[in-house]
């Protein structure tokens, strides 16, 4: 598997909570319901481990406002 990073666009987040439903080990939300990374609340980018890729991809697909982005970590910049 290629390596991927996940980015959060907090300005887009509408506090629906779906990311935490589909990937609770990765995503959490602040007191206003805005998405953040569970392990690194201040971060806006995080490396995606292979064992979490499927759940992060599902959260990305379910996010109604695309506040979650997945990007391949290489010279090619393929956004999903």
What is the rounded average pLDDT of the residues 13-30? 96
Q: Is the pLDDT of residue 78 over 90?
A: no
CA distance 31 to 6: 22
pLDDT at 2: 75
Does CATH place domain 4-72 in 3.30.70.20? yes
CB 70 within 8 A of CB 8: no
Going from N- to C-terminal start, the domains of the chain cover: 4-72
Q: What is the pTM of this model?
A: 0.84
């Amino acid at each position: 598997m290629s390596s991927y990073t996940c980015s959060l666009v907090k300005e887009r987040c509408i506090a629906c909570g779906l990311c935490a439903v589909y990937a609770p080990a990765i995503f959490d939300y602040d007191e206003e319901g805005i998405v953040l990374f569970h392990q690194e609340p201040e971060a806006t980018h995080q490396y995606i481990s292979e064992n979490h890729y499927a759940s992060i991809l599902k959260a990305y697909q379910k996010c109604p406002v695309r506040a979650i982005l997945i990007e391949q970590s290489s010279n090619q910049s393929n956004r999903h």
